[in-house]
Structure 1
Amino acid sequence: MSISATEGVGPSLWGLGATTSAKTQQDKDMFLQLLVAQLRYQDPMNPTDSSQFLAQSAQFTSLEKMEEVAAQTAAMVQAQLAFGASSLVGTTVTYATGPAGDDGSPAPTATGVVDGVTFGSQGPVLSIDGTDVALAALHTVTRPGIGPDAGTAAATPADD
C-alpha cells in the first residue's frame, strides 16, 4: 500500500474553513509535499535533525495563525465600516459627484440627507436623496442641531 504526500491532509486536519482561498490552499499543499519529500528522500546514514523538522512545522503553524488573524481583522474592519455607515442615516453629508479637474480644480460636490445604507461586495453604499454614493466619496458629515450654525443656549448658574 502506498500513501501519497498529501493523503489525509485536508481542510479538517489544519482547521481550514471554506473561506480559505484556493491559492492559500495550494501553498499549504506545496509546503506539505516538500516536507514529505524531504523526509522521504533524506540520507538514511545522515537523517534530518528533528529540531529542523520541528522548526519548519512551527513556522508553518505560525503562518496559519497569522492568516487567521488577518482574516479576523479584515472581518472586524468590514463590521466597523458597516456600523459607521449605518450611523450616518439621517445626517446631512457633502459628497463628490465626479473626479477632480485636470487643472487642479476640486471635484464637484453635492449635499443631501442619508436615507439608508446598503451593504454590497464593494462595501457600504449610502442612499442620499435617491442617489447611491460610496462611503469613500463623502467629504463632510453634519448632524442636525449640531455644529456652528446650531443655536445652543449656554447654561447659566442659578442665583442663590
Structure 2
Amino acid sequence: MYTGTAAAKDTASNTLDKQAFLELLVTQLRNQDPSSPMDSNTLMAQTTQMASMESLTEISTTSREAFALQMRASAAALVGQSVSYSNGTETITGIATSVSYAASVPTVTVGGKAVPLDSISTVSTTATTTP
C-alpha cells in the first residue's frame, strides 16, 4: 500500500535524480571541447528523456495511490455481505462485520477473525427477512 513515508522517499529520490542530471549536464557543458561543442540534438534528447522519466514516475505514484484507494473501497463494500475464505484446510463462510486498514492489505473481520482482503474467495448478499 502506498504511504506518506513512501511518497517522501520517492520525492527525495526523484529530486536527487533531477539534481544529479543537472549537475552532470553542467559539468559536461563546462568540460566540452570548444572546437567540437555538444550537439544541440543530443542536449534536447537528454532533456526529453529526463522529462519522460519524471512523467513516468508521477504516473506510477498516481497508480499506486489509486490502487490503494480501490482496495479500501472494495473492502468497505464487503461489510454486511456473506463472504468465504479458505484457512488452508477448509472453506469458511461468514458475514463481514468490519474492515481494518492497519496493514498494507485491508483486512475484513469475518466471525471475529481478521481475513486479508486478497484471501476472500466468494462474496454474496445476505438474505434478509422482513417481519
* Superposition TM-score, scaled by structure 1 size: 0.68
| Cα distance per residue 1:67-107 (max 9 Å; x no partner) | 10111111111111111110000011111213xxxxxxxx4
CA distance in 2, matches of 1:113, 1:129: 7
Please give the alpha-carbon distance, in whole angstroms, between the structure 1 residues aligned to 2:78 and 2:108.
9
Within-5 A mapping of 1:1-160 = 18=8, 20=10, 22-98=12-88, 107-145=89-127
Larger Rg computed on CA atoms: 1
Number of aligned residues = 122
Structure 2: how far apart are the matches of 1:85 and 1:76?
Answer: 14
Measured in 1, the distance between the counterparts of 2:22 and 2:103 equals 33
Alignment partner, residue 14 of structure 1: none
2:26 match: secondary structure? helix
Q: TM-score, normalised by structure 2?
A: 0.81
Alignment RMSD (CA, Å):
2.1
CA 1:80–1:145 in 2, change beyond 3 Å: closer, same or farther? same
One-letter amino acid matched to 2:65 = A
5+ unaligned residues in a row in structure 2: which ranges? 1-6
Query: 5+ residue gaps in structure 1?
Result: 1-16, 99-106, 147-160
- Counterpart Cα distance in 2 of 1:115 and 1:44: 73
Which residue does 2:3 correspond to in 1? none
CA 1:66–1:27: 2 relative to 1, 3 Å = same
Matches of 2:39 and 2:19, distance apart in 1: 23
